[in-house]
Amino acid sequence: MSAPTANTAAPARPPSELGNGAKRARSGPPGEPRKVAYLFILPAFAVYAAFALYPLGKAVYLSFFEWDGLTLGTWAGLSNYTDVLSNERLRGAFLHSLVLIGFYAVIPLVVGLILAAILHRARVWGLGFFRSVVFLPQVVPMVVIAVAWRQLYAPDGSLNSALSGIGLDSLTRGWLGDYDWALPAVGFIGTWFEIGLVTVLMMAGMSRIPTQQYEAARLDGAGPVREFFAVTLPAVRGQISVALTLTVIASLKTFDLIYMTTKGGPGYQTTVPSYEVYRQAFEQGKVGLASAIGVLLTIVIFAISFVITRVGDRDTETS
């Protein structure tokens, strides 16, 4: 299926106040440092600084205080951070994130790689349609996805009827309310959400591998499996690091899904850092603690994406 790519975007109109600056910059040879650049950057940077950079700095500041959001805060030093480590619920939140990384990133990557490799071997009809379909979960609002899966997981939902249908009544349960199964159930929604994205990404990477490489491998007597490890896998290292960056970050920012499905329960079995930020700040009145969790989450996200891109870069350089 190929949809018409209508260009419906209204052309952006630049604000006319910048006209003066543009005139001033007309002199001077190209390539020379240009002051007018600051004028072009100013509006974007101002909004970004005021509504993203400054709040991030403020979050760091608030994380050193004990504050309920109403009365005067008191200096707390690092105690909010030590609380995150010592509080069982908050420690659990970060551990649950690790489990979710498995569901959001690792499983989709392994399955996506295998599926893409199989599909890559033979040209079949309908790949364009397939791509559109498996990518669809990425654009549907997470709130809607949560509504759908809540129904599938419900005690009288499709999953349980399917299990009863094949005689596995003993396995039926209210999945999202089950103490042991709630976290894997939420994680599996992440697998469903990311698997199409990863597969499409891998297929795009594999379509760029020259066929000669496969022919050469076959002349050497390589079977499909050797072919995969010798030719396909090394060629998509870049895509693998992109897929991991996207999915790992998504797994760490999984607020809407938790808010809509389990609210962290049963008990605190499915709570995650992004949900705890909301809960501690706006339900428990612990603004400093919430800020500390947010800061830690940011550090983890920055560190993980830095490491993944570094490793990915090094791999592609040496290959």
Partner 1 sequence: MRISSGERVANYLILTVFAVFALYPILTILVAAFSKDTQAPGGFANFQQAWEIGRFGRSLLNSVLVSAFVVVTSVVLSVLAGFAFGTMRFRGSSVLFYLMLLGIMMPAEAIVVPLFFDLRAIGLTDTFWAIVLPQVAQSVAFGTFWLRAFFRTSSRALLEAARLDGAGSLRTLWSVLVPQARPAIVTLVVLVFMWTWNEFLIPLVMVPSNEALRTAPLGLSFFSGQYTQGFTLLAAGATIVALPVVIVYLFLQRHFIAGMLEGAVKE
Instruction: List binders of partner 1 among 119-158 (CB under 8 A).
Output: 119, 121-122, 124, 126-127, 130-145, 147-149, 151-152, 158
Q: Is 51 in the site for partner 1 (CB under 8 A)?
A: yes
State the burial class of residue 149 (Cβ atoms within 10 Å of its Cβ: 0-12, 13-18, 19+). Answer: buried
Place of tokens 């399917």: 162
Site string for partner 1, 212-231 (x = CB under 8 A): --x-----------------
Nearer to partner 1, 269 or 291 (CB): 291
Instruction: Count residues binding partner 1 (CB under 8 A).
Output: 115
The CB-of-306 to partner 1 minimum distance in angstroms stands at 9
The CB-of-224 to partner 1 minimum distance in angstroms stands at 9
Residue 291 to residue 76: CA distance in whole angstroms: 12
Q: Residues of 214-247 as b/e, b for ≥16 C-beta within 10 angstroms?
A: beebeeeebeeeebbebbbeebbbbbbbbbbbbb
Nearer to partner 1, 10 or 170 (CB): 10
Q: Is 43 in the site for partner 1 (CB under 8 A)?
A: yes
Long-range contacts for 62-70 (Cβ within 8 Å, ≥24 apart)? 62/287, 62/288, 62/291, 63/288, 63/291, 63/292, 63/294, 63/295, 64/288, 65/287, 65/288, 66/286, 66/288, 66/289, 67/287, 67/288, 68/285, 68/286, 68/287, 69/281, 69/285, 69/287, 70/285
- Residue list 73-102, contact with partner 1 (CB under 8 A): none
CB–CB of 188/146 below 8 Å? no
Nearer to partner 1, 122 or 167 (CB): 122
Nearer to partner 1, 17 or 170 (CB): 17
H/E element, 279: helix 273-282
Q: Is 235 in the site for partner 1 (CB under 8 A)?
A: no
Nearer to partner 1, 113 or 195 (CB): 195
Residue 22 to residue 161: CA distance in whole angstroms: 67
Nearer to partner 1, 11 or 221 (CB): 11
Q: Is 295 in the site for partner 1 (CB under 8 A)?
A: yes
Residues 6+ apart with CB under 8 A from 83: 90, 289, 292
| Six token digits for residue 163 | 């299990």
Of 23, 91, 226, 310, the residue at the interface with partner 1 (CB under 8 A) is: 23
Of 38, 161, 207, 216, the residue at the interface with partner 1 (CB under 8 A) is: 38
Of 89, 106, 184, 255, the residue at the interface with partner 1 (CB under 8 A) is: 255
- Residue list 58-77, contact with partner 1 (CB under 8 A): 58-59, 61-62, 69
- CA 20, 23, 28, 32 torsion-angle sign: positive
Q: Is 242 in the site for partner 1 (CB under 8 A)?
A: yes
Of 80, 160, 199, 262, the residue at the interface with partner 1 (CB under 8 A) is: 199
Kindly calculate the radius of gyration of the chain based on its CA atoms and give it in whole angstroms: 25
Q: Is 50 in the site for partner 1 (CB under 8 A)?
A: yes
The CB-of-190 to partner 1 minimum distance in angstroms stands at 13
The CB-of-6 to partner 1 minimum distance in angstroms stands at 6
